[in-house]
Structure 1
Amino acid sequence: MSPTSLSASEAKRRFGVEKEIALFPENLTTQEEENVKVVLEYMEIAYSPANAGSDSVAHLCAPGNTFEARSTFPDAHTAEEYAESHAKVMRALNNLEIVRFDYVIAKDNTYAVLCTSVQTENFVSLRYTATGSHVGAPHNGIQPTGRRAQWTACGNFVLDSFNAAAGEKPRIRKWLKDWDKMQMWQQLGWVRPNNDEVSFA
């Protein structure tokens, strides 16, 4: 797959998300295209002031899905719980937004299992740049600092397959997140002397 880029208007037309995608595979299968749509829709909701928590993203999440980001959201174990945790962050950074998707990569991997059945694993990986200011609610006892931050984060997703003929869409089954949290904390003034005793995002 050759890499290309999508402007914000092109990404809006193709995926419904009005954010630049700086690096993107040029040719996607139908499955890969649908997988990317689901992941970007999830990200758009999670980073929107309209994020009301788990109910906002439940339609994009497979039953029994898992979420893992031990260093950043240790109490969130599903994609729905992440949306809940992130809604809390957005109450403090009430102008938080994704600036752009630095890259989006998609791969559907179909293979035979013991020569008797076919299994498909659907992967989407992305890196994005976000920004926001602590001008909203207090965050874990820290009053609004008024400071602005910009940081990056990465997400690796595994999605269920879908049956387009039956009107089904893929849904998120697994999500691994890696986030440069300390860069964000330092810029916002959230680093405290007792951070070894306090875990917060």
Structure 2
Amino acid sequence: MRVLVAEDERDLADLVAEGLRRHAMAVDVAYDGTAAVERLVVNDYDVLVLDRDLPGVHGDVVCRDLVENGARTRILMLTAAASVSERVAGLGLGADDYLPKPFDYGELVARVQALGRRSHTPSPPVLRRGGITLDPRRVQAFRDGRFLRLSLKEFAVLEVLMRANGTVVSAETLLEKAWDEHADPFTTAVRVVMSRLRTKLGDPPCIETVKGAGYRL
């Protein structure tokens, strides 16, 4: 899952980003509204964690423009204002969810994961396919009951493949969904992670390479 955290409190933004990465998410950070808009134009995010009171371009404007442009990115709005009227106003702008500060971190993660499941075709909290069980909330994966000791990147790649429901996923899409903006598109990162993942999944092989197109689970 690819997430953008737009928050001007740098320490909070970095803590939120690092925590989401521990749940195998690819996370970029913007410290003001202008930077958030620039990243949203370039990258296809599943979820935007958006502070409402951003400097530069206000969070309300970021939210409204994203919705009006028909983006599929789901929006979790954060704000220090916790009144009902403020929540109603935020949701009225098109935000999918609303979380007042201070917030419980576990709740934030759960809400981001829930929104991520809705960013494409709705999918269940625990994914199952071909004997593989993947639980994003616990960051755990099993094959035929055997626990898979996956790195966070291997877990993220497997999650993208499972959410594709048997369709081919290109290397470019994997880079977009499982790596952040610092990934080099000309590296062999996808191929290396895919090789390790295949080894850990074991036999019979379950990841197919579709020549010139990508990978399919």
Structure number with greater CO (CA < 8 Å, separation at least 6) is: 1
> So what's the TM-score if we normalise by structure 1?
0.31
Q: Which has the higher helix share?
A: 2
Q: Which has the higher strand share?
A: 1
> So what's the TM-score if we normalise by structure 2?
0.29
